[in-house]
Structure 1
């Protein structure tokens, strides 16, 4: 486990999956990340690469050749190489190997850079194409934040405060795929109240979210967090059934639609990176 620390915050990241597992306030000793209870969901903040969400029949094609990948890809289950740059920054890198090439026939270098700044930690996805053909990929975040944060509150005391007062156009999920059905949830003065049954039909998946930051707040005290993200065209909000967390998920990519032809090049939200080029996206969490 790699530890990052400054006067405000402590963060721990595992080499497996480059997964952040703790965000702790040094002022209050509050833990802001979910505890990873496998009875509900055993992860903390997995990275989604080289696909986001489910593939139709767990299969995709490049021309006439078909390959299989699990939901959300393989990066979250692999060991990353670690470079601790200083007390407040670390870089985790995964490159293609003989095993990844069997299921994903692309050369790649994929990195997660974690960096502290005040009471904030940022996560930057860095993709480099070392190959001779275009690199097709998706990438996304899946951090799970503890709800409730404090012992004097319960799940229903919490709400999400969006930076824009908007209607959420939620695309319903059918067998891990994006269906043709949508549901509109109108925010109440930018707020979405959290309750467990909000996620009984899986995640809230949006393709046109206008907000670029969301705060997790509660009605009983001032503890919460601000989650900032830009240049992510898709967004998911999720919790396992009756679990004490909420995931805020910025995505460059999305699950297959139920009518998708399974060609990777035609996949909605797929990123294409030319040989020798680099690609970056970042999100950040500030605790309070």
Structure 2
């Protein structure tokens, strides 16, 4: 059975596997806001990317002269979390290191994922603790997929993303899941990026140095939309599967390896080092209107 949170504005559902958000409903306007995870295109709703974001070169990294393997986006999305706390409008889910994770990732950790409903807004917080006395090296990112069009009404091209602080998007190019040295610049007219399936035919738009801390998902047919807010994430991904009716808005603390990377975890771009006994937190939110 899914875990359910509800107030008079929103209904949200989650599962223990991956601590994944699997449903978000705007009650007042009867709108299903999240992608339905149709496996024909992409069978997930909102996976958590940990302890890496994106792919490693050859799925391999080195730490203390030992070779380790990790799949793209890490392992948290495929593991069962523990339910620590739950109220009508808040839930706290937790994942810690196991014998299995230590074989691929030689760090002790506690990853707590907190979801809260506050009026029209869902807040997701990642709270990481280092229970050891040695540094914890990690990356983390979000991957929520929002339905486009909402409730199947209208077309994909009716929708656009609005950036409150950017006039252009500086996109790091991806080839074979790795970052290349090339950069693609997408000009924004009045801060707007019209959605079209072809945007994602090569892969995600991977953004660095994004000025905006809010991105709105709007459409040209009515006044309803979403406001996606994030702070303290140095990278941002925008993605959809080939011709699928969703768009992922992905704040990241971390990034895929570059094609020339030396595969040393300590040298990985975006890697975070958390001292022994330390705590770390980042949050993102989505509000409907």
TM-score with structure 2 setting the length: 0.98
Map 1:189-200 → 2, pairs under 5 A: 189-200=190-201
Deviation at 1:207, TM superposition (A): 1.2
Deviation at 1:165, TM superposition (A): 3.3
Deviation at 1:84, TM superposition (A): 3.4
Show CA shifts across 1:84-126 (max 9, x none): 3310000010000100000000000001100010010000000
Long gaps (5+) in structure 1: none
Deviation at 1:28, TM superposition (A): 1.9
- Number of residue pairs aligned between Structure 1 and Structure 2: 288
Deviation at 1:167, TM superposition (A): 1.2
Show CA shifts across 1:113-166 (max 9, x none): 000100100000000000121000000000000000144311000000111132
CA distance in 2, matches of 1:105, 1:132: 13
Deviation at 1:25, TM superposition (A): 1.0
The CA RMSD over aligned residues, in Å, is 0.7
Map 1:198-217 → 2, pairs under 5 A: 198-217=199-218
Aligned to 2:165: 164
Q: Residues 94 and 111 of structure 1 are in contact (CA less than 8 Å); yes or no, is this contact kept in structure 2?
A: yes
**2:128 matched to 1:132?**
no
Map 1:19-98 → 2, pairs under 5 A: 19-98=20-99
SS in 2 for 1:100: helix
CA distance in 1, matches of 2:19, 2:97: 15
Aligned to 2:117: 116
TM-score with structure 1 setting the length: 0.99
CA distance in 1, matches of 2:185, 2:98: 43
Going from structure 1 to structure 2, the CA distance change for 1:90 and 1:111 (only over 3 Å counts) comes to: same
Deviation at 1:229, TM superposition (A): 0.3
Deviation at 1:63, TM superposition (A): 2.5
Query: After the TM superposition, which segments of 4 or more aligned residues of structure 1 sit over 6 Å from their partners?
Result: none
